[in-house]
Amino acid sequence: MSAPERIPSRGVTTTDPAFAELLARGELTVRGRIRDASNAALYCTVAHDGREAACVYKPVAGERPLWDFPDGTLAQREVAAYEVSRATGWDLVPPTVLREGPYGEGMCQLWIEAAPESELLALVDAQEPDPGWRAIGFAEVGEGRTALLVHADDERLRRLAVLDAVINNADRKGGHLLPTADGRLYGIDHGVTFNTENKLRTLLWGWAGEPLTGEAVDVLQGLQGALEASGRLTATLAALVTSAEVDATRARVEALLRSGRHPEPSGEWPAIPWPPV
């Protein structure tokens, strides 16, 4: 018997049907557990029709209940985030499906190999960021000292900041950013998203209050159409999150278009996740 064809996880796009079919229909084999995850996250391989790829499987049975996310599951929200990302055309979330696995229903997402040499975040001993960087805020680094936390002035991050504003991401940490060797950037861990209340908590505040790019406006207008009552994205999200959360997503898109600017911290919710990485 010949070995299965290994599909690489670099250079992928969410529009590639091979990955969706593989993740949804393939046989999941658990290879290990990702121990630093707050909920059960299993490193697996998935094989189907002579193809194989690495993936992450997060069973619903391993989720810890959250008082402020009482409806649905984290797995459903992860898939919903992928569907919104897919609708933007930016392909910022790895291919993700909801399926049965060895421990019941859960989220299955393509494993992405990050490029370790890519630097997107830094702590600097300065009052202002250097060219090519954006300020997030000051952080204590011990012995009464503070340093400026910055992120790269990177168009890929800027797109992700817009996506996070749309899905109301309450936990955009540095460890959730996966740049790849071929220049792409993926965001992962979207279980705490789509809340009806404003819970945006992120490291990507570098463009707060600044005008949206023309590209972002075009993308938001496309989402606005897809989120109409009879829109294709509305129908997709309705199977994953509550109707109130779909309405809130539509309202956030409309609010971004009205303001024409990146959102700013509300002051009603911690603006930066902890720990930040």
Query: Taking the chain, what is the end-to-end CA distance rounded to the nearest angstrom?
Result: 44
| Residue (of 116, 121, 60, 104) closest to 275 by Cα position | 121
Q: Nearest 5 degrees, angle CA 248-CA 250-CA 251?
A: 60
Q: Are 78 and 191 in contact (CB under 8 A)?
A: yes
Looking at residue 184, what is its pLDDT? 92
Looking at residue 17, what is its pLDDT? 72
For the beta carbon of residue 80, count every other beta carbon within 10 angstroms: 28
Looking at residue 42, what is its pLDDT? 96
Looking at residue 137, what is its pLDDT? 85
Q: Are 105 and 98 in contact (CB under 8 A)?
A: yes
> In the chain, which stretches have pLDDT less than 50?
1-5, 10-12
Greatest Cα pair distance, the chain, in angstroms, is 63
Looking at residue 1, what is its pLDDT? 35
For the beta carbon of residue 33, count every other beta carbon within 10 angstroms: 12
- pLDDT tens, 63-90? 988 888 888 999 999 999 999 999 999 9
| Residue (of 235, 197, 267, 228) closest to 83 by Cα position | 235
Alpha carbons within 13 A on the beta-carbon side of 12: 27
